[in-house]
Amino acid sequence: MHADATELTDLDREILAFEQDWVAHAGAKDDAVRERFDLTPTGYHQLLNRLIDLPAAEAHAPRLVRRLRRRRTARQEQRSARRLAGD
């Protein structure tokens, strides 16, 4: 995906732009992901999660990347809480 973690690819920048304004796209996000990037929703989210860990992504879109990281952390914490509650 990345030859150098200090640079973003065109796809990286396109994904960040999509995340910035995906609600402006008609229809469900999963459908928009398939249409725009030709990726499954799972593949897209795996790519996005790797992307938001890159310093170059944070430099390119700091507020967006920090928001996406917070959402990811919150989801991880919810999953952990559910697992603990199930024990």
Residue 3, domain member (yes or no): no
Let me know if residue 75 belongs to a domain.
yes
**Model pLDDT, residue 83:** 86
The pLDDT of 57-74, averaged and rounded, is 96
pLDDT score of 19: 93
Residue closest to 22 by CA, chosen among 10, 11, 36, 9 = 36
Residue 3 DSSP symbol: S
Question: Looking at the domain assignment, is residue 4 inside a domain?
Answer: no
Structural domain count, the chain: 1
Domain that includes residue 48, residue range:
10-86
Does 45 map to a domain? Answer: yes
Indicate whether 64 belongs to any domain: yes
In a domain, 5, yes or no: no
Q: What is the pLDDT of residue 22?
A: 78
pLDDT digits (tens, 9 = 90+) for 6-58: 799 999 999 999 999 877 666 788 999 999 999 999 999 999 999 999 999 99
Which positions ≥6 away from 87 have C-beta within 8 Å?
none
Res. 4: pLDDT tops 80: no
Amino acid occupying residue 82: R
Backbone angles phi, psi at 39, to 5 degrees: -125, 150
